[in-house]
Structure 1
Amino acid sequence: MLTLMTPGAGTIQPLNLRCHEAWTRSLKGARYLVEPWRCDIASGAFIVGSQTSSLLGLRHNPCGVVDLVRAYDQGDRSTILTILEQATASPSSFCFSTTVRGSKGRSSPLYCIGKSTLSDEGAEGSLEGVFAVPRAAPTMSA
């Protein structure tokens, strides 16, 4: 388990690239499958990696935030939506963790580390980051 957060936890803070990079390095240094994701704020479309998409049971890629959050543990959804909403309001670094249930009903932890960049007008920009799952998770292939 990562030391940067426990399941169900999350954090958001002003954009800090060093912090964001340190979180990402800690994932890559551990035994996690790490896949990038990106969201265009203007359209709300999320593009996720193929294995993450499969784990989350996404029917479409790109997809919307509701499609992503639907796969997360119900108790974590409100916190995660709040974090993502705050990240679209100002340039931010954020992370959260949750549990997802794969297509075969098995649970797997999912970690997200992201950052937001916004234009001066605020309507344009992006969220981007990585999703990570333990390589040993039964719902993922290595």
Structure 2
Amino acid sequence: MLNFMTPGSGAIKPLSPETHRAWTRRVSQAGCLVEPWRCDLSSGAFMIGSKTAALLGLRRNPCGIIDLVRAYDRGDRSTILNILEQATESSSSFCFSTTVRGATGHPSPLYCIGNSTLTDEGAEGSLEGVFALPETEKPNA
């Protein structure tokens, strides 16, 4: 596990491109597969990478927040939803880690690093970032 993210933990800070880049560098240096993701807040649709979708056992891409959260460890869900809710209230940088059990049922760590960019209207904007999977956990997709 990465030392700055243990399962069920997370952080949210004011939008900071350098914080986002530093967290992303750490997962890359830790030997993780890094895949981008994006969510358009006006539709709520998440577009994620194919390897992450396979790990999570998702059948649709784009998918909704409920599809994603169902794949996360039950004990981590409220922390993750709280982080994402805060990120939709003000432009932020955030990260979290959880354990997922995809189609195989085998537990795998999943890291998320993202940022939110919101417009003045509030409901407009996007969340985007990366999911990181330890290289030993890469699904065959």
What TM-score results when the alignment is normalised by the length of structure 1? 0.96
> Aligned pair count?
141
- TM-score normalized by structure 2? 0.96
Which digits, 9 at most, give the CA deviation of each residue in 1:23-61, with x for residues without a partner? 001111121111000000010000000000010011110
Unaligned runs of at least 5 residues, structure 1: none
CA distances 1:63-113 after superposition (whole Å, capped 9, x unpaired): 000000000000000110111011000000000000000211100000000
- How far residue 122 of structure 1 moved from its aligned partner, in angstroms, is 1.3
> What is the CA–CA distance in structure 2 between the aligned matches of 1:30 and 1:6, rounded to whole Å?
14
Aligned 1:1-142 pairs, distance under 5 A: 1-137=1-137, 140-141=139-140
Q: Which runs of 4+ in 1 moved over 4 A?
A: none
Aligned residues: percent identity?
70
Tell me the C-alpha RMSD between the 2 structures: 1.2
| Separation in 2, partners of 1:63, 1:96 | 19
The letter of the residue matching 1:48 is: I
Structure 2: where are the runs of 5+ without partners? none
SS at 2:69 equivalent: helix
Secondary structure at 1:136's aligned position in 2? helix
CA contact (8 A) 1:135 1:141 kept: no
